[in-house]
Amino acid sequence: MGLFSRLIDDRIASYQRELIETHYREVDNMYRQIRGWRHDYRNHIQTMKAYAAAGDWAAIEHYLDLLDEDLTTVDTSIKTGNPMTDAILNSKISLAKSKGIAVVVDAQIPVRLSSSEIDLCCIIGNLFDNAIEASVKLPEDQRLIRVYMDMKNTQLYISFTNFTAGKKMKKEGALFRSTKGEGHGFGLVRIDAIVERLGGYISRNSEDGAFTTEILLPQV
């Protein structure tokens, strides 16, 4: 292996470690919020018992409405059947929403995957980061990311689509040109390397103001 190839491998490995650390920080933040709400659970119960003792049913109803609203901010809204996928998707959805990006997800993984959690983390994380980076350049009312995941026979199908302000991205070789910088480029390379190693298939398409990535990963 030549010096240049080793440098490329080192940079990709470094980016992979940074990506995984970022994902775990995001997931940890989400579960910290959940643990915080659970910690306050006893106080909430005591407050409502006090209202009940006073016969203040309107106050109880109002308090329950406030709790319901608060819980929706930490609820794990996406449940695919795969815990790691749930963690990554929900953390990224939270990140996207904080940037004013709407996210529509239809994801089902009804079987145990043979793909490693690290590989899945890298693929989904990179796809989401790329879609978020492109979406924040649009007016807020045009920001939308669509995610679809399901099994197609013995293969896991992953599809990510985001809008691109009507601009068709320029393709250079097997990849589309990145405007984000060096790390973003290594992320694309990493996705391709994982898909190739797993004997999968990847397709990227930039048409009609939308950019779509489709991936098939064998699970046998």
pLDDT in tens, 29-74: 666 666 666 677 778 888 888 989 999 999 888 888 887 776 655 5
Q: Is the pLDDT of residue 159 over 90?
A: yes
Please, what is the Cα angle at 124 between 29 and 110, to 5 degrees? 95
Q: Which of the four pLDDT bands, split at 50, 70 and 90, describes residue 112?
A: confident
What is the pLDDT at residue 101? 93
- Sign of the Cα pseudo-torsion (125, 109, 194, 202, in order): negative
What is the pLDDT at residue 102? 92
Which carries the bigger pLDDT value, residue 102 or residue 79? 102
Q: Which of the four pLDDT bands, split at 50, 70 and 90, describes residue 167?
A: low
Q: Which of the four pLDDT bands, split at 50, 70 and 90, describes residue 178?
A: very low
Which carries the bigger pLDDT value, residue 26 or residue 53? 53
CATH C-level class of 77-218 = alpha beta
What is the pLDDT at residue 127? 92
Round to whole Å and give the CA distance between 173 and 130: 18
**Would you state the structure tokens that stand for residue 178, as one six-digit string?**
């990145």
Could you tell me the pTM of the whole model? 0.66
Domain locations along the chain: 77-218
